Amino acid sequence: QVQLVESGGGLVQAGGSLRLSCAASGIIFSINAMGWYRQAPGKQRELVAEITNSGRIYYADSVKGRFTISRDNAKNTVYLQMNTLKPEVTAVYLCHTKVWSDYWGQGTQVTVSS
């Protein structure tokens, strides 16, 4: 049974930082690409960042230079370091992987106040 559990969200002022974590179980973590998505109220879910098993990384243009995705295969965990946060990134952030099917975590709320 695949499980993805996010943590690290919260309320932060504009310009602040947060580090999200996603702990995975039930998969061979080291061979899976892991991604972070976000969904704001009334908006479509969008890919924020993804890291492949070989370490290749993708970032959405809107977060390049401010967000950093990383993974620790020994801990079965993927991270999203978010710096210089802006109110427009307020959303629920969800961890994702695909093992035949798509799997999602429950999400963690990130709220940035102006």
Mind listing the pLDDT tens digit for each residue in 8-41? 999 999 999 999 999 999 888 888 999 999 999 9
The average pLDDT across 55-75 equals 96
Span 68-95, mean pLDDT? 97
Mean local confidence (pLDDT), 47-54: 96
Radius of gyration of the chain (CA): 13
94: amino acid identity, one letter: L
At 99, the pLDDT band (50, 70, 90 cuts) reads: confident
**pLDDT above 90 (res 100):** no
Q: Is the pLDDT of residue 72 over 90?
A: yes
